[in-house]
């Protein structure tokens, strides 16, 4: 499991810096008054970048974005290749400009911030191995449920906590999220949380700050406690 990621300018970042048509600058449009936000492709007229950023700032403690150096909004090659709409890489948040509304964009931002938080608090989150144990127990239970209903699943796949493209495909396309939800309800915060240990943390982070903390505490007590400890640290 890789906890630390090198913060460096990737080829994608360098390309974007030359292709952005709009750059938001200054304290009013910067994220947390200091992180520059680059708009590569326009957002829908119904989505205000400023309102979205301010909403996130009211939810997430400032210290949790310490590892974030910039934010890019638009369409990127990795999105299509990996079938995603947001990602965190090398100190940069990449967020799709195709958003249903501001709430949708807030969800994406908060989720990707969770992966920056992993860098910052990696040892605190994963160091004692307790979150890994909780995750694999849930994966084992899900395997047993799916196997009982004759789904084509392999135990070894469910015991691998790292992201695996084929496993993701099994969940998302072969089983289908609509059917998977019947088995994950009350076990995982969402279907996507099954994908890997990192996404289990990411979805839990999103659930903690945007949804129901009490529900998360009952469902995933170790994950909830990790988030409580991080949240309660002094600025």
Q: What is the mean pLDDT of residues 179-208?
A: 97
- Please give the average per-residue pLDDT across 138-160, as a whole number: 97
> Mean pLDDT, to the nearest integer, of 191-206?
97
Full-model pTM: 0.87
Q: Is 114 helix (H, G, I), strand (E, B) or coil?
A: helix
The neighbour count for residue 28, using CB atoms within 10 Å, is 10
What are phi and psi for residue 188, nearest 5 degrees?
-125, 150
> Residue 235's pLDDT is what?
60
pLDDT the model gives residue 62: 95
Q: Tell me: the pLDDT tens digits for 84-117?
A: 999 999 999 999 999 999 999 999 999 999 999 9
- Residues of the chain with pLDDT > 70, as a percent, come to 87
DSSP string of 198-231, one letter each residue: HHHHHHHHHHHHHS-HHHHHHH-HHHHHHHHHHH
């Amino acid at each position: 499991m890789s906890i630390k990621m090198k913060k460096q300018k990737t080829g994608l970042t360098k390309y974007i810096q030359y292709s952005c048509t709009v750059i938001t600058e200054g304290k009013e449009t910067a994220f947390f008054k200091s992180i520059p936000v680059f708009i590569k492709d326009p957002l829908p007229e119904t989505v205000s970048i400023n309102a979205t950023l301010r909403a996130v700032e009211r939810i997430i403690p400032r210290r949790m974005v310490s590892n974030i150096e910039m934010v890019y909004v638009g369409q990127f090659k990795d999105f299509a290749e990996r079938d995603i709409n947001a990602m965190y890489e090398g100190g940069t948040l990449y967020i799709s400009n195709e958003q249903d509304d501001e709430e949708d964009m807030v969800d994406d931002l908060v989720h990707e911030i969770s992966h920056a938080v992993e860098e910052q608090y990696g040892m605190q989150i994963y160091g004692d191995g307790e979150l890994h144990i909780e995750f694999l127990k849930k994966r084992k239970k899900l395997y047993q449920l799916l196997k009982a209903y004759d789904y084509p699943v392999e135990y070894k796949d469910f015991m691998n906590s790292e992201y695996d493209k084929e496993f993701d495909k099994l969940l998302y396309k072969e089983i289908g999220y609509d059917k998977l939800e019947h088995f994950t309800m009350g076990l995982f915060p969402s279907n996507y949380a099954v994908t890997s240990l990192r996404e289990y943390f990411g979805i839990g982070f999103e659930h903690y700050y945007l949804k129901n903390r009490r529900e998360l505490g009952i469902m995933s007590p170790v994950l909830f406690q990790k988030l409580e400890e991080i949240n309660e640290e002094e600025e």
